[in-house]
């Protein structure tokens, strides 16, 4: 999760796509077209291995766009395939 957050901060689209589960991966993210974002931090609230190949991570990522502070609160699902973890899907919290 932390590596994906860092990839968003640095706009490493190739890494994000490479760590996205093949069944849910978008064709592109177009991060270069996003408005300028100032990332402020990541807090991992909960991480749980469901079993050896599935895990969940609840996190809050804080950022600013055009001076307006925002937060993304999500519970993400990950699946391990051939020893590597892939982001499968996420549920946003309000």
Res. 1: pLDDT tops 90: no
pLDDT tens digits along 23-82? 999 999 999 898 999 999 999 999 999 999 999 999 999 999 999 999 999 999 999 999
Write the CATH number for 23: 3.10.450.50
9-13 mean pLDDT: 95
> What is the count of structural domains for the chain?
1
Res. 89: pLDDT tops 90: yes
* Phi, psi of 31, rounded to the nearest 5 degrees: -60, -30
Task: Report residue 29 CA to chain centroid gap.
Answer: 12
Q: State the pLDDT at residue 38.
A: 95
pTM: 0.90
Structure tokens at 30: 């177009």
Structural domain of 14: 2-93
**Alpha carbon distance 84, 23 (integer Å):** 15
């Amino acid at each position: 999760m932390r590596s994906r957050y860092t990839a968003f901060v640095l706009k490493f689209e190739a890494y994000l796509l490479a760590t996205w589960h093949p069944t849910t991966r978008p064709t592109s993210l177009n991060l270069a077209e996003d408005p300028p974002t100032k990332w402020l931090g990541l807090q991992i609230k909960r991480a749980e291995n469901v079993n050896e190949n599935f895990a969940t991570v609840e996190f809050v990522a804080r950022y600013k766009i055009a001076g307006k502070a925002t937060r993304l609160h999500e519970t993400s699902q990950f699946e391990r395939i051939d020893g590597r973890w892939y982001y499968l899907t996420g549920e946003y919290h309000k």
